[in-house]
Amino acid sequence: MSLDAPQISSASSSLKIMLVDDQPARAAILEQALTDAGCTVVARLSSAQGLMKRVEEHQPDAIIIDIESPDRDMLEHMSVLNQHNPKPVIMFSDEDDSSTIEKAIRAGVSAYIVDGLNPKRVKSIMDVAVARFREFQALRGELEKTKNQLADRKLLDEAKSLLMKHKNLNEEEAYHAMRKMAMDRGQRMVDVAKNIISVMNLFND
Amino acid sequence: MTKNNVATSGLEQPNLKIGYMPLSDSLPLLVADEMGFFAREGLSVELQQEVSWANIRDKVLVGHLDAAQMLAPMLLATHLGIGGLRKPMQTAFAMGLNGNAFTISNNLAAELAATDIHDISGNAKQALDALKTVISQRKTENKPTLIFAIVFPFSIHNFLLRDWLASAGINPDSDVQLVVLPPSQMVDHLALQHIDGFFAGAPWNTVAIQRGVGECLVSGPDLWSNAPDKVLGTTQQWANDNPNTLNSMIRALYQACAWADANRDDAAKLLAKHIHLPVDAVQPALSGKFVYRKRQPATQVDDMLVFNRYHANYPWPEHGQWFLSQMQRWGWAADNLDNDAIVNECYATATYRAALADQALPPTSHQLRFDIQQAWELDDTAMGATGFKYR
């Protein structure tokens, strides 16, 4: 799924972007979005290993990096060592634009941009990155939720089976018994299930 | 007027977010939190552990953090807009002195040992002679330049290492290569021989030494006794908007620093818990029984980490002057700055004095005298790039 992104680059001036991200799925999403917007992702690194060489090699216009990466300080150093190296994006924010940086920090994105890049293009890059990081965060949240639901489901099924086997109940009866227990005790179904499993296993050992 | 009345009335921001890095010298913040010094001043503080200095800087700038443990030179660089966004910054409290050391790989240690120079461990001059010899040797043998890691470009680590090397005519930009690495990665890279040494803060030197992947060549105090490092940093805006809160923070941290100096064993346990390292790893620097090389007896370095004594918490303008001069020396800051005005702005000595009026304060006329290599005195030496020469 790709949102409509404004064209950041034209064929004649495609921005070169480097990604440093230890989450390959997120980097892939971001790379696609940037490519859709007309940028060229020249490299995707999962760590800062060999970062300096790759920057020298590709001369990216922008480097996008996860804010929680300890390798940010290495990029800071690079920007100080050489005027031409990309600089921390926070430098390019002004009063009108402070929300872009704040949004970026909240979404977990950080970036380093070469001097002289059009502020509009900088903002566009940041907007794409922020949108993709947020999307990834939401997807991860959903995945966590689904995993938990699946795990809960397994426990419910196990508890039901135990009740059916040892208490001679059919499935519907077992389910209702658990539901009643949950309501009477003010517990979640999954916690009732866990209790049943541990007691039943003890009982039947 | 009871302390509580003073504390709880007039606090603009009783709920604070303060950032720090997982280093031994973040102890004042950890202690102020856990031992109730913040609470006693009416402050409810959420400490946020960060993974990079850049994060700390950016989060303070946009207001996600109210204040943070900062490398003093990073605060100055931010104030001047060097390498990042320019924003007026301020510190009214230094978090301590020392804490750093230069740890080298086993390979480099062997190369140094192979020179004719003796007694190099812990000896600034001998170690430097040996290093210079090895560097020349490697040049003639066409071996790659030595690589040393530091934590951040604007740091005591970078400046002190450069100053020490340059004093023997070693050019830190061409005779060696200086790279920035996060401290936790330094130990791994040393083990893998990707770097030949690192200059970093406790407890990482001990971690490397205990793992047997390196040894301490010289400690920070071997180079400069009572060197400055971290400060409590805020934007000037924040400080102006929250004077009572800042006042309470200073008082809480001062008590915490005094406690840390007086309770080293308990401090070690507290620290280990928060930075997720064994107590053994943080003990040496805190206790002053510092082991330079694995299986060797400890050397007594009483002031390896100083939190409160020697007026360590006073934001000495002379320290600020030195940092600025080094930034000018290496070409990161312009020569024609009004250094006095900048330091006056950033080192808020009056705020410190007001907050701690009931404590022992350094006399106003007192000028700090350094002890760095050949001791030189600020009154006599011209600051700025011209004051330093190296071949």
| CATH code of the domain covering residue A62 | 3.40.50.2300
**Same domain, yes or no: A97 and A150:** no
- Locate tokens 């490299």: which residue? A43
Q: Per the domain annotation, does A59 fall within a domain? A: yes
> Would the CB atoms of B51 and A76 count as touching at under 8 Å?
no
Smallest CA-to-CA distance from A73 within B32, B200, B368 is with B200
**Same domain, yes or no: A165 and A106:** no
**Are B75 and B89 within 8 A, CB to CB?**
yes
Q: Per the domain annotation, does A35 fall within a domain? A: yes
Choose among A67, A73, A101: nearest Cβ to B180.
Answer: A73
Q: Per the domain annotation, does A130 fall within a domain? A: no
* Model confidence at B84: pLDDT above 80: no
> Would the CB atoms of A77 and B153 count as touching at under 8 Å?
yes
Query: CA A197 to CA A163: how far, in whole Å?
Result: 9
Residues contacting B264, CB < 8 A, separation 6+: B286, B287
Residues of A in contact with B59 (CB under 8 A): 105
Q: Per the domain annotation, does A177 fall within a domain? A: yes
Question: How confident is residue B240, by pLDDT bands cut at 50, 70 and 90?
Answer: very high
Length of chain B: 391
Choose among B54, B81, B82: nearest Cβ to A73.
Answer: B54
Our CA-based measurement puts residue A101 at a distance from the nearest CA of chain B, in whole angstroms, of: 8
**The two three-digit tokens of residue B227, written as one number:** 């060197």
**Same domain, yes or no: A46 and A110:** yes
The Cβ-side half-sphere exposure at B100, using a 13 Å CA radius, reads 28
Residues contacting A100, CB < 8 A, separation 6+: A93, A123, A126, A127, A130
- pLDDT, average across residues B253-274: 97
Question: Chain B residues with CB-CB distance to A under 8 A?
Answer: 51-55, 58-59, 61-62, 64, 81-85, 151-154, 179-182, 184-185, 332
Smallest CA-to-CA distance from B172 within B134, B145, B138 is with B145
> Would the CB atoms of A76 and B84 count as touching at under 8 Å?
yes
Our CA-based measurement puts residue B120 at a distance from the nearest CA of chain A, in whole angstroms, of: 30
Residues of A in contact with B195 (CB under 8 A): none
Residues contacting B223, CB < 8 A, separation 6+: B102, B124, B160, B164, B372, B373
**Same domain, yes or no: A20 and A91:** yes
Q: What are phi and psi of B198, to 5 degrees?
A: -145, 150
**pLDDT in single tens digits along all 205 residues of chain A:** 444 556 776 555 789 999 999 999 999 999 999 999 999 999 999 988 888 899 999 999 999 999 999 999 999 999 998 888 999 988 777 656 668 888 899 999 999 999 888 888 999 999 999 999 999 999 889 999 999 999 999 999 999 999 999 989 999 999 999 999 999 999 999 999 999 999 888 877 6
CB atoms within 10 A of CB B247: 21
| A-B contacts at Cβ under 8 angstroms | 75
**The two three-digit tokens of residue A153, written as one number:** 């489901």
Rounded to the nearest 10°, the torsion over CA B251, B225, B334, B173 is -130
Q: Per the domain annotation, does A137 fall within a domain? A: no
Buried b (16+ CB within 10 A) or exposed e, A56-94: eeeebbbbbbbbebbbbbbbbbbbbbeeebbbbbbbbbe
Our CA-based measurement puts residue B173 at a distance from the nearest CA of chain A, in whole angstroms, of: 10
Fill in the DSSP letter of residue B83.
S
The CATH number assigned to the domain holding A154 equals: 1.10.10.10
**Are B271 and B110 within 8 A, CB to CB?**
no
> Would the CB atoms of A69 and B51 count as touching at under 8 Å?
yes
Q: How many domains does chain A have?
A: 2
Smallest CA-to-CA distance from B67 within B190, B242, B187, B196 is with B242
Residues contacting B391, CB < 8 A, separation 6+: B169, B171
- Locate tokens 């009982």: which residue? A203
**The two three-digit tokens of residue B341, written as one number:** 């005005």
DSSP string, A49-85: TTHHHHHHHH--SEEEEETT-TTHHHHHHHHHH-TTS
Which pLDDT score is estimated for B53?
97
Q: Per the domain annotation, does A133 fall within a domain? A: no
Q: Per the domain annotation, does A70 fall within a domain? A: yes
Mutual angle of helices B317-329 and B156-166, in 10-degree steps: 60
**Same domain, yes or no: A66 and A101:** yes
| Chain A residue whose CA is closest to B154 | A77
Choose among B59, B81, B152: nearest Cβ to A76.
Answer: B152
Percent of chain B at pLDDT > 90 equals: 84
Residues of A in contact with B332 (CB under 8 A): 80
**Are B233 and B20 within 8 A, CB to CB?**
no
> Would the CB atoms of B54 and A68 count as touching at under 8 Å?
no
> Would the CB atoms of B54 and A72 count as touching at under 8 Å?
yes
Give the range among A95-109, B43-57, B115-129 with minimum mean pLDDT.
Answer: A95-109
Inter-CA distances, B154 with A24, A182, B150, B271, B332, Å: 32, 59, 10, 25, 10
Please name the amino acid found at residue B37. F
- Locate tokens 């980097």: which residue? A27
Q: How far is CA A202 from the centre of its chain?
A: 41
pLDDT tens string B351-391: 999 999 998 888 776 666 655 544 333 333 333 333 332 22
**Same domain, yes or no: A148 and A191:** yes
**Same domain, yes or no: A27 and A98:** yes
Smallest CA-to-CA distance from A71 within A82, A63, A83 is with A63
Percent of chain B at pLDDT > 70 equals: 91
pTM: 0.87
> Would the CB atoms of A76 and B332 count as touching at under 8 Å?
no
Q: Is A158 helix (H, G, I), strand (E, B) or coil?
A: helix
- Residue at a domain's end among A119, A151, A178: A119
Smallest CA-to-CA distance from B159 within B60, B54, B76, B257 is with B76
Residues contacting A139, CB < 8 A, separation 6+: none
Query: CA B260 to CA B359: how far, in whole Å?
Result: 17
Q: Is A128 helix (H, G, I), strand (E, B) or coil?
A: helix
Inter-CA distances, B43 with B8, B244, B337, Å: 8, 11, 38
Which of B23, B48, B53, B62 should be substituted to probe chain A, the one whose Cβ sees the most A Cβ atoms within 10 Å? Answer: B62
Q: Per the domain annotation, does A4 fall within a domain? A: no
**Same domain, yes or no: A42 and A94:** yes
- Locate tokens 């102006």: which residue? B240
**Same domain, yes or no: A24 and A102:** yes
Strand partners, B372: B224
ipTM of the complex: 0.88
Which of B50, B180, B181 should be substituted to probe chain A, the one whose Cβ sees the most A Cβ atoms within 10 Å? Answer: B180
- Residue at a domain's end among A87, A119, A151: A119
**Same domain, yes or no: A114 and A147:** no
Rounded to 5°, angle at Cα A18 from A12 and A23: 140
- pLDDT, average across residues B267-279: 96
> Would the CB atoms of B58 and A93 count as touching at under 8 Å?
no
Mutual angle of helices B317-329 and B339-346, in 10-degree steps: 130
- Residue at a domain's end among A72, A104, A119: A119
**Same domain, yes or no: A182 and A110:** no
Which pLDDT score is estimated for A205?
63
**The two three-digit tokens of residue A18, written as one number:** 């480097």
Which pLDDT score is estimated for B362?
81
**The two three-digit tokens of residue B365, written as one number:** 């006329």
Choose among B54, B81, B184: nearest Cβ to A76.
Answer: B54
Question: How confident is residue B78, by pLDDT bands cut at 50, 70 and 90?
Answer: very high
Rg over alpha carbons for chain A, rounded to the nearest Å, is 26
**The two three-digit tokens of residue A178, written as one number:** 């658990």
**Same domain, yes or no: A115 and A28:** yes
Domain with A175 in it: 142-203
Please name the amino acid found at residue B303. D
